[in-house]
Amino acid sequence: MKKKTEMIKKAAVAVLVIVVFMTVLASGAAEEYSTENDPLVSLSYINGVLVPGFEHYVDEKVQSVSAEEIVSELMSNEEFRQYVSSVIASMSHDSSGTASSSEFITLRLSAGKRLTAGSKCEIIVRSGQAAAVCPFEGAVKDLSADRTLKNGDTVITGNFIEISYADGSGIVALQTTTEILVRGEFTVGE
């Protein structure tokens, strides 16, 4: 029993010596550490110097540009003009639009909105669901599936649809938001 008690005392002393040694070693290492030699940027430097400087720079740049310059720059971009016209066309009840022969424009149609083709129109339904509107047979063609759509047929998302006649043919959106790409002459209405 005496040996067991002595052994416990020796172990406790050894643990105490190790703890004291580690404490001295850690305090010495902490005294040598300095953020001046640290290659990483401290959070206080970012929050105290970089962020306020950047905010001041952005404020100066924003105040130096007029709204007229921003609008002028945006309107000189053909894609932006087409986007604006497509948004206006999709929001109004009776709208018309034309996309150049080489460019598709994006329209977002709400449920019940109808796109009626002009003389020639090409359509790709990107998302949502739409149905063909065909007063006459053969007017709406799904070129991707190599078939002619009938009135009320569902337009397959991603397929290339061609409407070659200005006879009231087109598509009608069936879901809350149906996004389409369109090229050619068209009108949007109820």
End-to-end CA distance of the chain: 99
90 with 178: CB under 8 angstroms?
Answer: no
Check whether 175 has a pLDDT greater than 80.
Answer: yes
Give a yes or no: residue 45 inside a domain.
Answer: no
Query: What pLDDT score was predicted for residue 94?
Result: 45
Q: Is 61 domain-assigned?
A: no
Q: What is the residue-averaged pLDDT of the chain?
A: 77
pLDDT in tens, 105-149: 888 888 888 988 887 889 999 988 999 998 888 788 998 888 999
Which pLDDT value is given to residue 93?
43
| Distance separating alpha carbons of residues 151 and 135, to the nearest angstrom | 7
CATH number of the CATH domain containing 142:
2.60.120.1030
Place of tokens 């007029």: 66
Please give the C-alpha separations between residue 6 and each of 13, 17, 20, 169, in angstroms, as whole numbers: 11, 16, 21, 101
- Whether the per-residue pLDDT at 33 is higher than 60: the answer is no
Structure tokens at 113: 């909105």
Q: Is 119 helix (H, G, I), strand (E, B) or coil?
A: strand
Residue 131 lies in a domain: yes
Domain limits for position 84: 78-189
Q: Is 146 left (phi over 0), alpha (psi -120 to 50) or beta?
A: left
Specify the number of domains making up the chain. 1
Residue pLDDT, tens place only, 68-112 = 777 777 777 777 777 776 666 555 444 555 554 567 888 888 888
Helix and strand numbers (H, E) in the chain are 5, 10
Contact status, residue 169 vs residue 95, Cβ threshold 8 Å = no
pLDDT over 70 percentage in the chain: 75
Distance in angstroms (rounded) separating the CA atoms of residues 120 and 124: 14
Tokens at 60, concatenated: 């100066």
Tell me if 170 sits within 8 A of 114, measured CB to CB. Answer: yes
CA 62 from chain center: how many Å?
24
Query: What is the rounded distance in angstroms from the CA atom of residue 153 to the CA atom of residue 159?
Result: 13
Residue 7, domain member (yes or no): no
Tell me the C-alpha distance between 133 and 167, whole Å: 10
Taking the model in full, what pTM does it have?
A: 0.49
H or E element at residue 24 = helix 2-32
